[in-house]
């Protein structure tokens, strides 16, 4: 949290930086409260370590994206954002600027460089509304007069541009402006270079990128973007701040972190969509080859939804693009097979031994390659006995707590031992466990753009599970991507279903559910753990619940590994293998290889598969790790 150094709820924050010897700095910081009192500050916070000081940098970089990341019609607009006045006139300037903004019926955020009197102020306006443009004009004129009156400059560091050139004469006078024009004619007699800037500028409200009468391409979306004001506004949340270009820390954007290609950023994907929506590119480009290339390496990790200060949800946008493309050109056999993976595994589970024997052969990998699977990947196996067949023989708690286990595809057909461990732990904590009938959560379908099929499954799961939810029984998921699809994506699939919100609130990650139970869990001390969190878990919940649960029995080290690179089917697909493995090698694989005696734990099924493929080391689900540590377990 980049604001944790802020005390109380102040109207403004002043960040002051000192340099000097250690002794000099100790003396200054020893009198910090006195200095703050002299400046009229309510409180002072010393920031001396690199980590503490970095909070202010993150806050500064996040300010504008946070302001622009709202669904409001009025958003901060840059046209008076670069004024500078002598520092001794700054207080007067701020007070009078605030009055101008308030008198024009809007608000603005003030940030910038107080030591040199340069402030970046962006009043909130809707420039697609003629009244918003009129207010922008009035504010620009009044601020220009204010700056001149305070002896300042309307362009402190960003340049004059189309938004401020009109007011240059107020600052320099007519004689100097005519001299500017004479010099320009000498070097640019045809007026070809940067026309309309400084010399012979148009009115600042005549060349708006977003102005009255703007048109957006109407698109009947498969997903609902109503919480962001619609598909177009969801795209326009991206303001180009470039947080998605970071190379270290967090998850966003995993493809850019390994390719370092602008095309593979969250920003590029949003800009490509914006170009189509606004008409810069023709409508057919929404489902064209270039859009496919730009979206191709998006792994759907959802990190941009929370790590981008503006909350740009490119994962949902990619799903929408795939949906529109499928409607226009048809869905491939590979997409249909991947989207209905539960059906494929259910068939395989009918003959597990023959299927597993064939799946391990070179012939099977070659056959899978024809369907778009990279032959270097191991094909999934199925368990000899499904989880639902094992469940009746598992222990039950005495209650009164109750939980319903969402029997995801991977737990049912591939990793029933995860479910067994989870049931033993839930029962040991006193819970009675139900295993209701469910259908696939819809996540594989969404990853392939099969939105209509995912919607059908969402409605079916609500029909099956809402009776339990209405009784107050929480829905517990072992696979983060599955249970969080119920929590997050069902709102976009069936937004008009009144049951969705309560249903989403009832969902729990396995670790959350365990921590909610009151029963005392008696665990022996286990080996230390290296924890890799699932992308959707990190984006929507965080690894905190997993850390706390594992911490009941072990020392836990969390690796800041970003995306493992598998991302469901992404890492299996032809053309993605190299990028997928590079994502793993960036941080995760080296951490696993260097884990020593630490047990590698990863809640995500695809994460565990990627760790095995990349390091030949088997990772465990938290339930697999903890269940053997129960008192009385062998």
CATH number of the domain at 395, please. Answer: 1.20.1050
Residues 287 and 324 sit within 8 Å (Cβ to Cβ): yes
User: In the structure encoding, which two tokens stand for residue 515, read together?
Assistant: 């921590």
Task: Give the three-class secondary structure for 464.
Answer: helix
Pairing of strands 529-531, 556-558: parallel
Q: Is the domain of 31 the same as that of 83?
A: no
Q: List, for residues 587-611, the tens digit of each pLDDT value.
A: 999 999 999 999 999 999 999 999 9
Q: Is the domain of 103 the same as that of 171?
A: yes
Domain for residue 561, yes or no? yes
Residues 416 and 385 sit within 8 Å (Cβ to Cβ): yes
Average the pLDDT over 68-81 and give the result: 85
User: In the structure encoding, which two tokens stand for residue 581, read together?
Assistant: 């493995």
Q: What is the pTM of this model?
A: 0.87
Q: Is the domain of 430 the same as that of 495?
A: yes
Cα–Cα distance between 447 and 443 in angstroms, integer? 6
Q: Is the domain of 42 the same as that of 84?
A: no
Q: Is the domain of 118 the same as that of 100?
A: yes
Lookup result for tokens 């929370």: 306
Average the pLDDT over 10-17 and give the result: 91
CATH number of the domain at 81, please. Answer: 3.30.70.2740
Q: Is the domain of 288 the same as that of 326?
A: yes
Cα–Cα distance between 105 and 124 in angstroms, integer? 10
Q: What is the pLDDT of residue 371?
A: 81
Q: Is the domain of 400 the same as that of 504?
A: yes
Q: 470, 494, 516 — which closes off a domain?
A: 516
Domain for residue 97, yes or no? yes
- Produce one character per residue of 234-257: b if its CB has 16 or more CB atoms within 10 Å, e if not: bbbbbbebebbbeeeebbbbbbbb
Domain for residue 326, yes or no? yes
Q: Is the domain of 440 the same as that of 534?
A: no
Per the DSSP assignment, residues forming a β-bridge with 558 are 531
Domain for residue 524, yes or no? no
Q: Is the domain of 30 the same as that of 79?
A: no
Greater confidence (485 vs 63) lies with 485
Range of lowest pLDDT (18-22, 53-57, 421-425): 53-57
Q: 313, 330, 347 — which closes off a domain?
A: 330
Q: What is the pLDDT of residue 27?
A: 93
Q: What is the pLDDT of residue 445?
A: 98
Number of domains in the chain: 5
Q: Is the domain of 52 the same as that of 80?
A: no
Domain for residue 315, yes or no? yes
Domain for residue 452, yes or no? yes
Q: What is the pLDDT of residue 73?
A: 84
Q: Is the pLDDT of residue 633 over 80?
A: no
Q: Is the domain of 48 the same as that of 86?
A: no
**Domain around 12:** 1-69
Domain for residue 564, yes or no? yes
Q: Is the domain of 574 the same as that of 604?
A: yes
Average the pLDDT over 232-248 and give the result: 88
Q: List, for residues 365-396, the tens digit of each pLDDT value.
A: 888 888 888 999 988 899 999 999 999 999 99
Q: What percent of the chain has pLDDT over 90?
A: 79
Give how far the C-alpha of residue 261 lies from the chain's centroid of Cα atoms, to the nearest Å. 19
Give how far the C-alpha of residue 69 lies from the chain's centroid of Cα atoms, to the nearest Å. 12
Domain for residue 606, yes or no? yes
Q: What is the pLDDT of residue 1?
A: 67
Phi, psi angles (nearest 5°) of residue 108: -155, 155
């Amino acid at each position: 949290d980049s604001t944790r150094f802020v005390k109380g709820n102040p109207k403004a924050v002043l960040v002051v930086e000192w340099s000097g010897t250690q002794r000099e700095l100790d003396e200054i910081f020893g009198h910090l409260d006195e200095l703050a009192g002299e400046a009229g500050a309510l409180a002072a916070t010393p920031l001396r370590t690199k980590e503490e000081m970095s909070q202010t940098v993150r806050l500064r970089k996040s300010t504008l994206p946070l302001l622009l990341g709202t669904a409001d019609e009025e958003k901060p607009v840059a046209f008076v954002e670069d004024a500078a006045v002598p520092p001794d006139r700054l207080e007067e300037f701020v007070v009078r600027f605030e009055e101008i903004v308030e008198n024009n019926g809007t608000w603005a955020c003030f940030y910038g460089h107080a030591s040199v009197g340069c402030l970046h102020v962006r009043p909130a306006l809707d420039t697609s509304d003629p009244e918003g443009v009129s207010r922008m004009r009035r504010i620009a004129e009044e601020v220009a007069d204010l700056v001149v009156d305070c002896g300042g400059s309307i362009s402190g560091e960003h340049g004059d541009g189309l938004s401020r050139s009109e007011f240059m004469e107020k600052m320099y006078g007519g004689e100097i402006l005519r001299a500017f024009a004479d010099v320009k004619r000498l070097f640019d007699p045809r007026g070809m270079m940067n026309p309309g800037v400084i010399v012979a500028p148009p009115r600042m409200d005549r060349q708006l990128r977003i102005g009255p009468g703007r048109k957006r391409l109407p698109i009947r979306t498969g997903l609902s973007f109503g919480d962001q004001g619609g598909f177009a506004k969801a795209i326009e949340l991206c303001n180009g701040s470039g947080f998605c270009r970071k190379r270290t820390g967090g998850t966003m954007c995993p493809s850019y972190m390994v390719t370092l290609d602008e095309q593979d950023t969250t920003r590029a994907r949003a800009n490509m969509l914006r170009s189509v929506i606004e008409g810069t590119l023709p409508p057919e480009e929404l489902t064209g080859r270039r859009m496919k290339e730009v979206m191709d390496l998006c792994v759907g990790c959802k990190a941009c939804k929370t790590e981008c200060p503006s909350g740009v949800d490119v994962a949902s946008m990619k799903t929408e693009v795939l949906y529109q493309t499928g409607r226009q050109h048809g869905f491939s056999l590979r997409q249909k097979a991947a989207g209905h993976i539960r059906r494929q595994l259910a068939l395989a589970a009918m003959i597990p031994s023959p299927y597993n024997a064939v799946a391990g052969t070179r012939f099977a990998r070659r056959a899978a390659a024809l369907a778009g699977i990279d032959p270097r990947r191991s094909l999934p196996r199925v368990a000899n006995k499904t989880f639902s067949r094992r469940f009746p023989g598992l222990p039950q708690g005495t209650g009164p707590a109750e939980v319903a286990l969402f029997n995801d595809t991977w737990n049912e057909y591939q990793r029933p031992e995860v479910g067994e461990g989870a049931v033993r732990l839930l029962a040991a904590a006193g819970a009675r466990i139900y295993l209701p009938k469910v259908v696939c959560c819809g996540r594989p379908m969404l990853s392939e753009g099969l939105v209509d099929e995912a919607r059908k499954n969402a409605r079916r799961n609500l029909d099956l599970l809402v009776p339990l939810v209405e009784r107050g029984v929480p829905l517990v998921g072992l696979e983060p991507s599955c249970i969080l699809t119920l929590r997050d994506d069902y709102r976009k699939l069936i937004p008009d279903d009144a049951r969705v919100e309560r249903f989403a609130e009832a969902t729990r990650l396995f670790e959350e559910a365990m921590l909610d139970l009151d029963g005392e869990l008696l665990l022996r001390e286990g080996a230390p753990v290296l924890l890799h969190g699932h992308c959707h878990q990190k984006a929507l919940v965080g690894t905190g619940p997993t850390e706390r649960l594992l911490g009941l029995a072990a020392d836990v080290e969390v690796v800041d590994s970003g995306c493992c690179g598998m991302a469901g089917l992404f890492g299996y697909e032809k053309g993605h293998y190299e990028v997928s493995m590079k994502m793993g090698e960036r941080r995760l694989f080296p951490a696993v290889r260097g884990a020593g005696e630490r047990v590698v734990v990863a809640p995500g099924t695809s994460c565990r598969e990627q760790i095995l493929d990349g390091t030949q080391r088997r990772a465990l689900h938290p339930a697999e790790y903890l269940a053997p540590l129960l008192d009385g377990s062998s």
